[in-house]
Chains A and B, each alone.
Chain A
């Protein structure tokens, strides 16, 4: 199956700093990638849809100036949490769709644990 990687897997930063998370599709191209946030014991919440070569689409309530998304190539999307605060501490996961025969499967990255002190 297709593989999606994320880097870093864990990051701890001070309040006020910016953190960049990378999402890569390793063996397939993805014109669209999705970014999710997951709080403990809760399900994934879609934050935004990353579109290669164009602006990302953000879900309602997600600040686009705080969560900067760049989809510079067909295999890489980045999420930058700007001026991070403790409430931004969460598990961030990306996914990318890939066709497997007649269905579009969603492949998820392993996630990035962000802790803001």
Chain B
């Protein structure tokens, strides 16, 4: 069964600190992996997308890594800001362009 698991489920950090979110998947075949940011009451917004051959992808203060061998990905947020408070969702595209969503990590950045 195709699954995407994320950890931690929730996280609270102080403004300015870094954090790393984890994503493990069992989706096969694998097409690509995306990280989305979803603000409360809004639709998800794409942060990064990585295909099988890509190990890392950056978008500003967001850096995603992918290890296709161990089927793991991480999203690193540098110098967090209050506006980073949101749910971060890992989504894996498998065969037939079918998306499998992770349950998300709820991040809260505090002063």
Taking Cβ atoms with an 8 Å cutoff, the residues of A that contact B are 1, 4, 6, 34, 41-46, 91, 93, 95, 97, 102-111, 113
Contact = CB atoms under 8 A, between A and B. Distances in A.
A54 to B, nearest CB: 17
B29 interface: no
Contacts of A91: 41
B8 to A, nearest CB: 14
A108 B41 contact: no
Given A108-B44, A113-B41, A97 B97 contact: yes
Q: Chain B contact residues: over half helix, strand or loop, or mixed? A: strand
A44 B44 contact: yes
B13 interface: no
Interface pairs A-B: 3 shortest CB-CB: A108-B43, A43-B101, A43-B103
A104 B97 contact: yes
Contacts of A108: 36, 43-45
Contacts, number: 45
B32 interface: yes
Interface residues of B, number: 21
27 contacts: A1-B46, A4-B43, A6-B43, A34-B99, A42-B103, A43-B89, A43-B101, A43-B102, A44-B101, A93-B43, A93-B44, A95-B43, A97-B97, A102-B51, A103-B32, A103-B49, A104-B93, A104-B97, A105-B46, A106-B34, A106-B46, A107-B46, A108-B36, A108-B45, A110-B43, A111-B41, A111-B43
Contacts of A97: 97
B87 to A, nearest CB: 9
Contacts of A46: 99
Given A41-B106, A91-B41, A103 B51 contact: yes
